[in-house]
Structure 1
Amino acid sequence: MAQPNNPLHGVRLLDMVTYLVEYYGWEALGNRIPIRCFQFDPSINSSLKFLRKTDWARKKVEDLYLRTIQKEK
């Protein structure tokens, strides 16, 4: 089913985290979203594991992703 009003439709969490890490780097990302998986020994896999279990943190990542891609346009 198409979701034309959902800008995150079809965007995987892996793609969002990878994009944000490439755009900001781990240190700046950890400053913007202060969670341990971004600040201490960060990796894509550990971040995904945490974000899939933690709704509030995933929401922060989604919001930052949306704000960042809006700046790119």
Structure 2
Amino acid sequence: MQDSYPRLEVDEEVDTAYLYFKNICEGEAVKQFSVTNKNGDTVLVVDLSQRGEILGIEFLNARTRFPGYFPK
């Protein structure tokens, strides 16, 4: 079965979610930038290719952003 994109993958242990826009090969994500909230806390990290293509977005504190993906 081939993956479809975009695809959301959650990691309950570290409370993150990653939104894939494509399959990411090792070493393909060469640039990152962080987005912070008004308190200065990082809320997400965007992974970019060498050409500036958005490969995926990592959401921190995912339980509050995607409550349906986590068991109660």
TM-score w.r.t. the length of structure 2 is 0.22
The answer to which structure has the higher strand fraction is: 2
The answer to which structure has the higher helix fraction is: 1
Higher Cα Rg, which structure: 2
